[in-house]
Structure 1
Amino acid sequence: MASVAPTLIHERALASERGHRYIGAADEVGRGSLAGPVSVGYVVIDPADVPLLPGVRDSKLLSDSVRHELVPAIKSWVAAWGVGHASAAEIDALGLVAALRLAGLRAVNFAHEQQAADAVLLDGNLDWLSATIQPTLLDSLLPGFGDPEDVDGLQIPVRTLIKGDLLALSIAAASILAKVERDDLMDSYDRAYPAYGWIQNKGYGTESHRQAILEHGATDYHRRSWQLTPKGQ
C-alpha cells in the first residue's frame, strides 16, 4: 500500500496558533545504532508561503537513490536547513538524550544563520531539543552570554508530534537531509574499517556487525558504553 503523502497541516496550525511566521522542523537518525553519530536534520519554512513538495516522505520509506535526488529540491524549498551530528564519543560521554540535543543544536545554529524559526515541530513524543536550563536575567548580563555554546538547547517553543515524519512535510524533509548525510558518513567510515559492513548496516546492530565486533574489537566509531555484543561473549 502506498504511503499517504505528508502535508503542511501541522506546520500551518502551529504558525496560526501562536502568530508565528517561520516554523522549524527536526528529526533524528541513528538513535539505535551501535556505531557512528546520532544525526539531526532541521529545516525552517514559512508554511504560508511554500507549496507541497512532491515525492518527500519519511526517509525510511524511500530508497537511497531517491533520497539523494530529493536533497537539492528540499534545500531549495526551505528558508534554511542544517544537519548536526554528535559523535559516538560524545554519546558515551553525555548519554543519548544529551547527545541528541547537542546534534540538534548544531543543526539549528547552522540553519538560524540563514533564517531563524519562531517555533519548532519535533518528531516523536519526547522533547530532547529544548534547553534543560532556562537563562535568568542575570545570565543575560554576563559577558559573552548569547553565544550558541551558552545554552544546551532551544529557547523557542517546541511541539512534539508522534509519527511526525509521516504526517508533517517539513519533518519528512528534515529526516531525508539527516539520513542522507549520516549514511554518507557511515559509507566513508566503512572505507577505513571495511570489516564491519557499515555500507550495508549503517552502524546498526545486525548479526554480522556484532560478529565483526567480536572478531575485530570496537573502533573509535563504536559507542563503547553500549552493549555491543551479546552478553557472555
Structure 2
Amino acid sequence: GTRGSTPTLRAERALLREGHLLVAGVDEVGRGALAGPVSVGVAVVDAATRTAPAGLRDSKLLAPEAREALAPRLRRWAPAHAVGHASAGEVDALGIVRALRLAGRRALEQLAVVPDVVLLDGSHDWLSTPVPRGGARTDPWLVRTQVKADLRCAAVAAASVLAKTERDALLRDLGARDERYGWSGNKGYSAPDHLAALRRHGPCVQHRRSWRLPGCEPVPAAAAPEGEAAEEPGRGPAVAAALAELPVQAPAGRDRRPASGRMDGDLPAAVPAPSARKGP
C-alpha cells in the first residue's frame, strides 16, 4: 500500500518533462493544533535533483528522531527550500484556509527562486490567490493538487518533514518559555495534558481563540469576505480585505533558474505573537 512505500520524484519529473524548470512540493503542518502557528514547508526540485535521501517518508509516518536526522539531509538535497508560518492570532483573524495561504506565501517568498509549478498535497487548493469570476490568475506559479502527495511525492514529503521539524522546534521554544501547557511534548495539539491545562489556566496568547477550546467561549466567526467561501464554523473575525496578499511577483534578484551554489530560504519566518481550536 501507499503508506509503506517510499516517495519518489515520478510526479515531479513528469511536470519537469512538461517544460517546467522548477517544481515545488508544498505541505502544511499544525492545521489541527490548538496552539502555535500553522506552518507550511516548500522543497524545490529541478531536472538535476537526484533521488531523495533514504528513509524519506511523510512526516506523520516518521519517529521524531528520524525526522530530526533527515531534515539537514533534505536541506542539502533540495536546491531551494523554506518554511513559512502564520501565527495563532492570524488563524483567528483570517480563518484557517487564508492563514494556510499566508504561511505558504511566506515560505515561497523566502526562496531565492520562483517555482513554475507547485505540487500540493490533498484535493483542495488553499494556496492560490482566489481569482474573481472572469479574472486572470495573479500568482506566478501554477498549483497542481494531488491526493496522498505527501506519501507519494518526494518533494512534498520533504516539505512536510521540514515544516514539521521547524514547527516542533518553535513549540519546544514556546514550551520552555511557558511550561503550563506541555507544548514541548504535545506540540500544541489536543493531548490530555494540554486540555487539562487549558481547563485549569485558560488560554494564552499562543492559543487559537476562535476554536472550541475547553472551558473557553469561542470568538464568533465573522462572515467571509466577498468572493470567498465561508470558513468552517468557529473561525475568527476576518481581517481587512482578507489578506491584502503578500507581493507575488519575483522580487529583484530572484531568478527562475537554479543558480550555482546553495539557494536556501531556510531562515524561520518570525512568528508574530498571537492567539488558536479543536484537535485534528
Do the structures match in fold with TM over 0.5? yes
Amino acid aligned to 1:203: G
- What do the CA deviations read for 1:87-141 (whole angstroms, capped 9, x no partner)? 0000000000000000000000101xx222110100111101111147x79xxxx
1:204 equivalent to 2:205? Answer no
Q: Which runs of 5+ in 1 are unaligned?
A: 138-150
Q: What SS does the corresponding residue of 1:74 show, helix, strand or coil?
A: helix
1:5: which partner in 2?
6
Number of aligned positions between the proteins: 214
TM-superposed deviation, 1:58: 0.4
Amino acid aligned to 2:203: A
Q: What SS does the corresponding residue of 1:85 show, helix, strand or coil?
A: strand
1:93: which partner in 2?
93
Q: Which runs of 5+ in 2 are unaligned?
A: 218-280
Q: TM-score scaled by structure 1?
A: 0.86
1:214: which partner in 2?
199
CA contact (8 A) 1:11 1:47 kept: no
1:147: which partner in 2?
none
Q: Map 1:76-91 onto structure 2 (within 5 A).
A: 76-91=76-91
Q: TM-score scaled by structure 2?
A: 0.72
1:131: which partner in 2?
129
1:59 equivalent to 2:71? Answer no
TM-superposed deviation, 1:75: 1.0
Q: State the alpha-carbon separation in 2 of the partners of residues 85 and 32 from structure 1.
A: 14
The structure that is helix-richer by fraction is: 1
1:165: which partner in 2?
150
TM-superposed deviation, 1:27: 0.3
TM-superposed deviation, 1:15: 2.1
CA contact (8 A) 2:198 2:213 kept: yes
Q: Map 1:100-115 onto structure 2 (within 5 A).
A: 100-111=100-111, 114-115=112-113
Q: What SS does the corresponding residue of 1:159 show, helix, strand or coil?
A: strand
Amino acid aligned to 1:158: V
Q: What SS does the corresponding residue of 2:205 show, helix, strand or coil?
A: coil
Q: State the alpha-carbon separation in 2 of the partners of residues 49 and 60 from structure 1.
A: 24
1:74 equivalent to 2:74? Answer yes
Pairing partner for 2:167 from 165, 179, 182: 182
TM-superposed deviation, 1:53: 2.1
2:244: which partner in 1?
none
TM-superposed deviation, 1:81: 0.5
Percent identical: 48
Q: What SS does the corresponding residue of 1:52 show, helix, strand or coil?
A: coil
1:118: which partner in 2?
116
Q: State the alpha-carbon separation in 2 of the partners of residues 7 and 230 from structure 1.
A: 45
